[in-house]
Structure 1
């Protein structure tokens, strides 16, 4: 956060403690940090700007393959893996229940 304030706004976080930066202004500056800022990335952002996404979409449009670094692709793959794992767990529970019923 301190590095982002210095990088994007040329403001020292110490200005808050010195009384030169109000809590409201600090909150507004932090709220609207760019998506590639360290604070946004630390809070779960992917660090990509609109330009990054547009360039990745152009790669996809011209090659037919998604850009390998596109966070949307990684998220979709992670979600797919999670759904497959859940389906495997459900199938295993069903098999276990069936085996318990057959053995009873």
Structure 2
């Protein structure tokens, strides 16, 4: 792993829930990131946001790390879950809530 991949790995493994996104939770910079934040806020679980617009190495490196071409990207307990479309599908089916509970991620 190169230095950027190590940084990403440290972030992903250092937090229970990580959302790599464009912008911040208060000011998402794309509709997909906005939708991802809205889902996370509805779940009321704490998450660590990473603004990929602030670091071009992270922005490109996260795509290689996950082998997923788009942002946002959600990780729970070190596992890549998916982007906003997958998050929405899982949320609507109740699967995202179950994943958080099964992973020991508590609301509030």
Fold shared by both chains (TM-score > 0.5): no
**Shorter-chain-normalised TM-score: which range?**
under 0.3
TM-score after normalising by structure 1:
0.25
TM-score after normalising by structure 2:
0.25
Instruction: From the CA coordinates, give the structure whose radius of gyration is larger.
Output: 1
The structure with more helix, counted as a fraction of residues: 1
